Structure 1
Amino acid sequence: MISPMICKVKNLRTLLAPVRPIYTVPVELYQELTCLRTLDLGGSDIDKLPNEVGKLLHLRYLNLWGTNLSELPETICNLYNLQTLELFQCKKIQKLPSGIGKLTNLRHLGNGGTDALGYLPQGIGSLRFLRTLSKFIVRGSSMGCNLGELKLLTFLQGNLKIEGLERVVEMNEAAEAELRMKNRLRGLTLNFGDLEQADVEKMKGVLKNLHPHENLEELKIKGYPGLQFPSWITSGSNLVSLKLHGCGTLTELPAAMGKDGMP
């Protein structure tokens, strides 16, 4: 446990909590250390954040990787200065706050390895300065967001995984994502989910419309139910790696691609 005595250091800017075992953080910490810019609770065993975390209005960096959190309090959306929210390997987290779109200064949302996370809330597209988004989950319902929310995330860079493509309602949604305009992306994973439930014609249109920028270097495709790939697969001048998983219905690869799946 973190000692409540630390709350007497009123001007503290950075707090790096020791790794396990930490099961609780004193509520006083969130109430008193309002000058904090960096709070690192990564690797601890905490399973809940209190609403008082919303009082840390100067916070820029919040690291919660590997914790046992199942959800985040809605008050975290009051942290307007937050630039990094790290949730990597938070395997129990099931949802993000519905008002996450209020975090307009957010640059990095690390949500890789969040296996129980079923959807991203509507409003992700409001995070226009976002550079890192480990995983985008298509929901296709009023609860979550659709591919069109990716349109305004023009600064995305590094690697992006898109899951739940089998839930896309209209294939034109894929075009609205405007992946072709995101020239900073280097790696892209497209996951089509359950082959048996997929609308094959729709999924063909979705993949065709998810044409990424030619700067893409690595592409992974999982569960695509079509017989062929669209022509853009081999048009990327910088593509150096193509990996296919569970694409058992394919009858042919693009002409410029070898049997090993490499262009």
Structure 2
Amino acid sequence: MKTLTNQTLLYDDACPLCSVYTSGFIKTGMLDAGGRKPYAQLTDDEIIYVDVQRAANEIALIDRQNKTVLYGIDSLLKVIGNSFPFVARVGNFKPIYYLLAKLYSFISYNRKVIIPNKKSDAALHCMPDFKYSYRIAYIVFATLFIAIILFNYSILIGTLPHGNFGRELALATGQIIFQGLLLLNRDKQTALNYFGNLITVSLVGSLLLLPMLLMSHFFEIHQLLILGWFGLTAAIMFAEHYRRIILLSLPHYLCYTWVAYRVIALALILNL
């Protein structure tokens, strides 16, 4: 790899994904040994020329020699493009650049609901701005994905009445409405933060169901295994939901209503 020297990425050290890919740049030689450092370790000198809030939203690449800064997709294209010029040329093509920038923002503005972490006591905390549009887009995208997976998995469960995509979409959407009724006394941002975490838990569950779905195309799987895997997935989801409730400092009864909704939904499905 061709090393990009005298450049430092300011990464969110509370974001596992950010830590992994910036570490990868160092290990592969795309950046030198000083090629990354936690956002929280910004120096007073760097704060003069770094847009601190923008750097929390979009990963910043500091030119240590010229004291200039690139942000977001521009910083990533420079790092990757230094080793792979073709990537930089394609990435900077306006339609592609626009899509990459939107995808980057979609992930960045939702990263704290995708992988939440405890509130930091650091003076500089890498917390992205709250963007309603990106949060709602994430919830809609995840809900559609969840409905697709649940619909296909429900076909494997012979004891369930034959359903359709609409039913699974209604169930995935219904959990947000059901839990949302318990947050009417909270502000919109708190509610949407919870909904983002709620839908991420369901998204994790859907991803856990994928291996069984894929295997079902090649093997005949016993109903006990299908049901057992679904039950194990539900247990993992409950544990993850409980963990997130603690991180968000929300009332624990949301965990019990989370279970109650699923029990009610199952009862309705079986009696349709």
TM-score category (smaller protein): under 0.3
TM-score (norm 1): 0.28
Name which one, 1 or 2, has greater alpha-carbon Rg: 2
Larger strand share, 1 or 2: 1
Larger helix share, 1 or 2: 2
